[in-house]
């Protein structure tokens, strides 16, 4: 009988978790539904404001706003703060999708649309659902996770293809060479899969690569 009580408690806990998940989904859709065409910008939470990569992200975000896009980031520090800062300074919609973590992640002050998420997968869904393009700045495991998840969704035709741009050839070239040398050589991916990702260094060219495909 005691075991049955434990199982029932677990079921009840899972049921309430489903309500929290649905609540996060509804909250995200309601708040982001009218932001218009948007670009999701990713990168390390550890990049400091005096880093040239930080300044580059600020510039890219500002250019996207001037081109008619909203900017979405993970809402935290580093590149996320840079993206929100550039969008806010350009007087655009600056969205921060913050995640509750025990370290590193605290909301930055530059997002004028701020949402908090408990569940990574709902947060990542918002990045994809409302994005017309993805821009990946240098980052760690989280950046790679977000990058390759959306690449996989495009590769498997689960979402419509849109521009995915990795900024910084010095940073990304080694990874992409490994993808070619290992994954492509062993026929674990198709040659056309390599076309999903573009590597661009110049901020103006990053925005141009998106605007020539996405009509605002």
Residue extents of the structural domains in the chain: 35-211
Q: Do 85 and 112 contact (CB within 8 A), yes or no?
A: no
136-194: per-residue pLDDT in tens?
999 999 999 999 999 999 999 999 999 999 999 999 999 999 999 999 999 999 999 99
Q: What is the CATH number of domain 35-211?
A: 3.40.50.450
Could you report the per-residue pLDDT of 8-18, keeping only the tens digit for each? 555 657 778 88
pLDDT for the residue 1:
46
Assess contact for 86 and 59: CB atoms under 8 A.
yes
- List strand residue ranges (DSSP E) for 74-112, in order: 94-99
* Residues whose CB is less than 8 angstroms from the CB of residue 96 and which lie 6 or more positions away in sequence, other chains included: 73, 74, 75, 76, 80, 84, 107, 108, 110, 111, 113, 114, 115
pLDDT band of 102, cuts 50, 70, 90 = confident
Q: How many CA atoms lie within 13 A of 20 on its CB side?
A: 12
**Tokens representing 30?**
């309601």
């Amino acid at each position: 009988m005691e075991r049955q009580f434990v199982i029932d408690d677990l079921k009840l806990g899972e049921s309430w978790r489903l309500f929290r998940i649905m609540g996060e989904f509804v909250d995200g859709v309601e708040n982001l539904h009218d932001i218009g065409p948007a670009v999701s910008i990713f990168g390390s939470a550890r990049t400091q404001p005096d880093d040239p990569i930080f300044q580059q992200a600020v510039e890219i975000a500002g250019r996207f706003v001037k081109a008619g896009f909203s900017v979405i980031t993970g809402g935290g520090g580093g590149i996320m703060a840079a993206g929100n800062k550039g969008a806010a300074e350009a007087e655009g919609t600056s969205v921060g999708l913050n995640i509750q973590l025990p370290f590193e992640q605290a909301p930055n002050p530059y997002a004028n649309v701020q949402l908090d998420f408990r569940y990574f997968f709902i947060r990542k869904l918002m990045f994809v659902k409302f994005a017309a393009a993805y821009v990946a700045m240098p980052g760690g495991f989280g950046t790679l996770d977000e990058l390759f998840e959306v690449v996989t969704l495009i590769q498997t035709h689960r979402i419509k293809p849109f521009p995915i741009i990795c900024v910084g050839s010095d940073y990304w070239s080694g990874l992409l060479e490994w993808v070619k040398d290992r994954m492509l050589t062993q026929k674990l991916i198709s040659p056309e899969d390599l076309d999903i990702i573009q590597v661009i260094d110049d901020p103006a060219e990053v925005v141009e690569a998106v605007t020539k495909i996405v009509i605002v």
